[in-house]
Amino acid sequence: MKNLIFPCLIVLLSQPLLAADDTTDFTFNEAALAHAHTLREQALRSDLAYTITADLTTRVGARAGGTPQDALAVQWAVKQLKALGFDRVWTQPVTFPYWHRGQESAQLLQPVPQQLKITALGGSPGTAENGLVAEVVLFADLQALQAVADDSLNGKIAFINKRMQRHRDGHGYGEAVVARSNGPAVAKAKGAAALLIRSIGTDNNRTPHTGTTRQPEDGSAIVPAAALSNPDADQLQRLFALGIKPELELRLDTGFDGEATSYNVFGEVTGAQPEQIILLAAHLDSWDVGTGAIDDAAGVGIVTAAAKLIQDLPGIPQKTIRVGLFANEEQGLYGGFEYLNQLQLQHPDAPLVEHVMAMESDFGAGHIYRIDARTNAAGWSVVDALHELLAPLQIELGSNGKPGGSDIFPLINAGIANIALRQDGTDYFDLHHTDNDTLDKIEPEAMQQNLAAWAVTAWLVSQSGVDFGSGTLAPAND
Amino acid sequence: MKNLIFPCLIVLLSQPLLAADDTTDFTFNEAALAHAHTLREQALRSDLAYTITADLTTRVGARAGGTPQDALAVQWAVKQLKALGFDRVWTQPVTFPYWHRGQESAQLLQPVPQQLKITALGGSPGTAENGLVAEVVLFADLQALQAVADDSLNGKIAFINKRMQRHRDGHGYGEAVVARSNGPAVAKAKGAAALLIRSIGTDNNRTPHTGTTRQPEDGSAIVPAAALSNPDADQLQRLFALGIKPELELRLDTGFDGEATSYNVFGEVTGAQPEQIILLAAHLDSWDVGTGAIDDAAGVGIVTAAAKLIQDLPGIPQKTIRVGLFANEEQGLYGGFEYLNQLQLQHPDAPLVEHVMAMESDFGAGHIYRIDARTNAAGWSVVDALHELLAPLQIELGSNGKPGGSDIFPLINAGIANIALRQDGTDYFDLHHTDNDTLDKIEPEAMQQNLAAWAVTAWLVSQSGVDFGSGTLAPAND
């Protein structure tokens, strides 16, 4: 299994590629601008993104990589893209280790029996069938756990109590998620029997947040690991504050069972230059909790609807608009890595030769507030120019050198040009990777503004005639 | 088992007892007013109500009637009231049918496997061990289910999809809760195998709302019954809108197992007239979901802290301030009925002879916005006068003839005088009877305002020297 960062957002990967005053003037032709205006107004009245999102969450629901529901989601996507009339619809197989979640429970035994709400971290091994009973030891954060001597925890349960902070751009996630990604390996090294973490989430619901944990590169084991909901973590914290050492029973029926194959699903609006591709990405899989509405049926809805609106314009776009709905993002960007892998097999010397640009929607369905990018100077001039169409949507111009995306992370890392439409994520981590990720959390009006930004941006990138630098950009920092 | 309404709030029980212009002037003596001012200012700085609430939810947590945690809660309450230095602390046994909740699950089978979030209704029988599988039939509300022919549902699962409306005074609860209280008996009569209801709650979390269902007075059976969270009910609703008939598997390991005994717990501040009692009520039990913070550890905290602040004044109050923490409110007001029962045995001709007034806090820890009452005319004059002390707390004067309380409902029904301090319940039914009823939902500052209103009101009732009419008031309408 590959060892990855587990994004759903990647920000601030590298330094700006050029200073703001390097921007040169760029002007779109009038036909391109007229169609951009049309797209924007149509999107603001369109319910297509919402309808697609509703259909996926209702007819399929949760669709964790490798499950029967994941296979249904692939069927759904192929049928959906064909029904929308895309020029070409196809799939690409993606194979990965299959991880299952069975029963999971935690019960406080001392000082008083209380059920605690937990969810196993993706990739966690199970406990013994009868569970394990141990004293809990509190750590303020991952660093505090790292600071204790190896093998000193003596079969106890380590508990990392770091709370994620709420921010519009979601950067609190990156600060807190190390407890989830690295904690189980560190806990193993310290001699713990298991790890509990405070959920990497900003809510106060008893809906704990799952998410993948990192498997050590040397193949060494990790301990069974689960997240407590924030109110349950508060409860443990209060017990410690009273001087009480909690003891609890943890049972996880989880683990890896061989391999599974799922599929990336693609649909295209063929452009006048068919082998010049603008990739609009989202991921088709979800976690098994919730119904994957904001993560990432919303992205599926937004990128599909944006491409459909462009297809429905008179004539054809200059470049090909490719919708990419990727497999098993949640457990390690498997679909995204396989996509790059196939490009490398096809074009060993220039894997990105056919790609103008990649963009991704994987941060909910909220209002877009900024446009960032990672392009060459000519590309940034285009972004600067197209921002005029976005400004009336209350979208600010961000900066170059700030890419974003999850499935397209391998492509960005390989030097693809990228535009990142930043979605308001203030409430995103209330819901992300929880039971609460359901359709009712999506505001149709915010989604229309989001769709408008996507349609306008993809269209104007296509019509700009500019090489954004894909394949010539330095690899982004991992 | 008694057949009851399941309150947690009772409003609008009867018509006003007197018109507003019947109010006569009443004036408190200066010492009473000075102490009332002191109480108000102390309460606004006091963390005692919050501290008590935190301690009960942390050290005990969920405490459903008859469980080991309920017994722990009784021990906790006795210890707490003694530690606070009340003049007299004692318990009163309360026996009731014991209902247990084991495993509970619902899984959509058709059109696609999806886990649904449910919680059994209190009093529900279980399904067979392997569960039951049946088609779901949609009803907009209880009336729609009542309208179909008896025995016509043919082993299907009835689903009542009525959504509760949000209001500050919580009156949407009364409108919606009939589906929960009466639905399982109606579903049985219609030939259904089970009943699902949309949660009686105003939130969009996947934390379904439990609560007691009514057992038919003729002893006939009801069907296994559970509430779906609002997002899960939405999901079923969308499937029906697509023309799909959902099929699901329901498993409930629930039911009655003999009897259990718990205890009402009392603590008193003895007054100058010791056998003239002002009862400040809350309930000690909770549902087994959540940790019973707003329902009703908050009430325990508020009434206990109010009595303690009065005790700590110089001198003693005119009347006895009795804190009553009642047993098993949730499953049928058992503690409240037993309290009245014992009064009737003690004083067969005048059970309320020693009671001046009863008041209850069982609607969370929010801001108090109105004072209502059910008293005689002289009593209402006192309420009118004491409202001057409450007005600076942004509390409006309500009206006479509008009692409130849950454990004290039997007393109100028997004609006790009552003052109802109305708490803002706008968000109460987001949390009530769910996993989410945890301490973090309580705002300490709102609770201080609430406590101030309680301390001032109880104190001034005590010092008024007025007979509020307990025992002479007409029985309230059930």
A112, A115, A205: residue with CB nearest B436: A205
Do B225 and B82 lie in a common domain? no
Q: Is residue B472 part of a domain?
A: no
CB proximity under 8 Å: A 270-329 to B: 290-291
ω into residue B169 within 30 of 0, thus cis?
Answer: no
d(CA A291, CA A437): 6
Indicate which CATH number applies to the domain containing A43.
Answer: 3.40.630.10
Query: How many CA atoms, within 13 angstroms, populate the side-chain half-sphere of residue A98?
Result: 14
Residues of B within 8 A of A231 (CB-CB) are 436, 438-440
To the nearest whole Å, the CA of A285 is away from the closest chain B CA by 15
d(CA A89, CA A478): 32
To the nearest whole Å, the CA of B413 is away from the closest chain A CA by 36
Residues of B within 8 A of A290 (CB-CB) are 206
Q: Is B113 on the interface with A (CB under 8 A)?
A: yes
Helix%, strand%, coil% for chain B, nearest 5: 35, 25, 40
Q: Is residue A123 part of a domain?
A: yes
Q: Please name the amino acid found at residue B140.
A: A
Residue A397 Cα to chain centre, angstroms: 23
Q: Which two tokens stand for residue B432?
A: 């009530």
Provide the ipTM.
0.93
Do B131 and B173 lie in a common domain? yes
Q: Is residue A24 part of a domain?
A: yes
The answer, yes or no, to whether residue B13 has pLDDT greater than 60, is: no
Report whether B60 contacts B438 (CB < 8 A).
Answer: no
Using CA coordinates, name the residue in chain A closest to B204.
Answer: A440
Report whether A132 contacts A250 (CB < 8 A).
Answer: yes
Report the residue of B58, B108, B427 to disrupt the A interface, i.e. the one with the largest count of A CBs within 10 Å: B58
Model confidence at B22, pLDDT cuts 50, 70, 90, reads low
Indicate which CATH number applies to the domain containing A185.
Answer: 3.50.30.30
pLDDT tens digits, residue range A114-158? 999 999 999 999 999 999 999 999 999 999 999 999 999 999 999
Q: Is residue A8 part of a domain?
A: no
Candidates A395, A12, A368; CA nearest to A171 is A12
Q: What totals of helices (H) and strands (E) does chain A contain, helices first?
A: 13, 14
Do A186 and A299 lie in a common domain? no
Q: Is B102 on the interface with A (CB under 8 A)?
A: no
Residues of B within 8 A of A59 (CB-CB) are 111-112, 242
A207–B204 CB contact, under 8 Å: no
Q: Is residue B7 part of a domain?
A: no
d(CA B116, CA B233): 9
A62–B239 CB contact, under 8 Å: no
Look at residues B202, B234, B254 and tell me which one is the last residue of a structural domain. Answer: B254
Q: Is residue A3 part of a domain?
A: no
Parallel, antiparallel or unpaired: strands A247-269 and A319-326:
antiparallel
Q: Is B111 on the interface with A (CB under 8 A)?
A: yes
Q: Is residue B446 part of a domain?
A: yes
Q: What is the DSSP string of A82-103?
A: HHTT-SEEEEEEEEEEEEEEEE
Look at residues A254, A274, A291 and tell me which one is the last residue of a structural domain. Answer: A254
Residue B195, φ and ψ in degrees, nearest 5: -125, 135
Model confidence at B220, pLDDT cuts 50, 70, 90, reads confident
The total number of structural domains in chain B stands at: 2
Report whether B230 contacts B430 (CB < 8 A).
Answer: no
Mark out the alpha helices in A22-177 (DSSP H runs): 30-45, 48-59, 68-83, 142-147, 171-176
Do A330 and A391 lie in a common domain? yes
Per DSSP, B201 falls in state S
Do A27 and A174 lie in a common domain? no
Q: Is A59 on the interface with B (CB under 8 A)?
A: yes
Q: Which two tokens stand for residue B17?
A: 């007892």
Mean pLDDT of chain A, nearest integer: 94
Candidates A420, A416, A410; CA nearest to A471 is A416
Q: Is A62 on the interface with B (CB under 8 A)?
A: yes
B57, B206, B239: residue with CB nearest A207: B206
Gyration radius of chain A's alpha carbons: 23
Parallel, antiparallel or unpaired: strands A132-139 and A157-160:
parallel
A440–B114 CB contact, under 8 Å: no
Residue A180, φ and ψ in degrees, nearest 5: -80, -45
Do B354 and B264 lie in a common domain? yes
Look at the block and give the residue holding tokens 């002002």: B278
pLDDT of residue B24: 64
Domain hosting A429: range is: 20-97+259-464
Model confidence at B219, pLDDT cuts 50, 70, 90, reads confident
Q: Is B427 on the interface with A (CB under 8 A)?
A: no
A59–B290 CB contact, under 8 Å: no
Candidates B374, B344, B357; CA nearest to B464 is B357
The answer, yes or no, to whether residue B11 has pLDDT greater than 50, is: no
Q: Is B128 on the interface with A (CB under 8 A)?
A: no
pLDDT tens digits, residue range A40-51? 999 999 999 999
Q: Is residue A430 part of a domain?
A: yes
The answer, yes or no, to whether residue A429 has pLDDT greater than 60, is: yes
d(CA A419, CA A464): 14
Mark out the alpha helices in B391-443 (DSSP H runs): 409-413, 428-431
Residues of B within 8 A of A57 (CB-CB) are 235
pLDDT of residue B304: 98
Per DSSP, B345 falls in state H
Query: How many CA atoms, within 13 angstroms, populate the side-chain half-sphere of residue A122?
Result: 26
Report whether B400 contacts B18 (CB < 8 A).
Answer: yes
Look at residues A239, A254, A269 and tell me which one is the last residue of a structural domain. Answer: A254
Largest CA distance in chain B: 73
Do B113 and B202 lie in a common domain? yes
